[in-house]
Structure 1
């Protein structure tokens, strides 16, 4: 076993804590948590934590969503259950949102299964990650600057819900950002900044939880897989940090634009491309699990 591979299989506690903090800090900001987990590990000289580790650690941040939006989620789930019991009644706004979240989850679920091999290999190339950071950062900036931003969540139609579902599916590409992709399209459709963000977080819950639970089978399954204890620690850290970040972000976007995040994405993408171009960073640094 080479020294580098030993680092990957052991996944030291410090690495787990750092990656958990990175996940918590970046999941809700429109800057791509999967890209940051990939880039931080590569810059630190650690092996790529892999798609399975990334998916499972995201469970922590989705638990933060459940806590932060607990009143909204309970209300929506209750409305859906009431409509199921009385299907002849017209679904109210909360029930409609609940069904649209379910429908909007289908694109990422189907494409995630079809593209599983690419997600775990080709899509994690740092050059592609950097290009996605730049391109989708610029798209977010344009949408934030020029979109009307007048619609509320009660104006979410089936067509718009499906469109936002496909926008979320773009996050299968590290560097796009699950929240960033959904928010960008939400803004282009005409939703207000805070409304687009709120729906993006609600839409992500079933997809992220399902993905994380699906990938749990690969945690600790072999000597080359991320160990269970370290992954659990990273997940716990991501929950604590993520809850603080989502609380801050929802207050921030009530009065501020996404401009700072656009500048950050583009700058980071350029830096990664420069490091790869000069040979300072291997675009395939670290084997994936």
Structure 2
């Protein structure tokens, strides 16, 4: 890819990875509007590592507490809130991992179309709005139990459908289960760490199998997506309790309509 293309796509990916608006829907726009080719495997690896670095660095204190108390609880047989949350994240990761392994090929060959992305962008946008309006928004992370975590994990597996938005569907599930907006967002972001890490690892193995690896493109894409993702997480958590999910749901409807117009207009 050209440098300009890397910059634009990396910023789009970083900004949309953690917002409930679907990164896959945004990445199809430059291809449709500007006629850009597919970004390729190297770019996918870069933005995955950029997003992973951003979320780990932003939640570095929480991540350390989760690792320390999660593993420590196995030894002491006493789990703190952080230790219990660590294992709830592990539990919530299992459905997406198993679904990804079982249906990866089917999804890549049958669901990565503009029509599917547009439909998912609109459909799950409406569901996000409905969940935010109907939600009780009372529960904190400390009140999360294993059944709720597993249900959010099952919802995360739906994000394998392009256009769904991993953060969007997990926040939607959290809200439907009665979680506060910030609690649902934080759990969604922490859940992303093992999922993004596994995806980045698998993509890296695929990339190393190629003859020529564009390390310069990877470093630039990772840096830009990481910076934009970090800023996105920071400002989203600052304002989500006040602005709610309605602006993102409306944006998804507009984006989905734009995709439909470009496809069939």
User: By the TM > 0.5 criterion, same fold?
Assistant: yes
State which of 168, 171, 179 in structure 1 corresponds to 2:159: 171
Aligned to 1:96: 84
The corresponding residue for 1:259 is 246
Structure 2 residue aligned with 1:277: 264
Is the 8 Å Cα contact of residues 41 and 207 (structure 2) preserved in structure 1?
Answer: no
Q: Would you say the 8 A contact 1:37–1:54 is kept in 2?
A: no
Whole-angstrom CA distance in 1 between matches of 2:39 and 2:213:
7
**Secondary structure, aligned partner of 2:241:** coil
Q: Deviations over 1:219-262 (max 9, x none)?
A: 36447x98443133111110011111111111011311111111
Q: Is the 8 A contact 1:16 1:234 kept in 2?
A: yes
C-alpha distance in structure 1 between counterparts of 2:18 and 2:87, whole Å: 23
Residue matched to 2:204: 216
Query: What SS is found at the alignment partner of 2:111?
Result: helix
* 2:169 paired residue among 181, 188, 191: 181
Given that 2:43 and 2:221 are in contact with CA atoms closer than 8 Å, whether structure 1 keeps it comes out as: no
Equivalent residue for 1:192?
A: 180
SS in 2 for 1:253: helix
Change (3 A) 1:145 1:51: farther
TM-score (norm 1): 0.87
Q: Which of 3, 23, 34 in structure 2 is aligned with 1:44?
A: 34
Question: Alpha-carbon deviation of 1:55?
Answer: 5.4
Cα distance, 1:192–1:221 mapped onto 2, change above 3 Å: same
Which digits, 9 at most, give the CA deviation of each residue in 1:3-27, with x for residues without a partner? xxxxxxxx12221111110011111
CA deviation vs aligned residue, 1:95-146 (integer Å, no higher than 9, x gap) = 1110011111111111111112133332210000000000000000000111
Q: Please state whether the residue corresponding to 1:271 is helix, strand or coil.
A: helix
Counterparts of 2:46 and 2:147, CA distance in 1: 31
- More off after superposition, 165-174 vs 228-237: 228-237
Structure 1 residue runs of 4+, over 4 Å off? Answer: none
Take 1:233 and 1:187, find their aligned partners in 2: how far apart are those partners? 36
Equivalences for 1:1-289 in 2 at 5 Å?
Answer: 11-50=1-40, 53-54=43-44, 56-86=46-76, 89-219=77-207, 221-222=209-210, 227-278=214-265
**What is aligned with 1:7?**
none
Unpaired runs of 5+ residues, structure 2, are none
- Give me the whole-angstrom Cα distance separating, in 2, the residues matched to 1:48 and 1:173: 18
- Cα distance, 1:36 vs. partner? 1.4
Q: Distance in 2 between matches of 1:119 and 1:39?
A: 20
**TM-score normalised to the size of structure 2?**
0.94
Aligned counterparts of 1:55 and 1:158: Cα–Cα separation in 2: 32
Task: Let me know the Cα RMSD of the aligned residues.
Answer: 1.8
Paired with 2:116 and 2:213, the residues of 1 have a C-alpha distance of: 24
Gaps of 5+ in 1: 1-10, 279-289
The structure with more helix, counted as a fraction of residues? 2
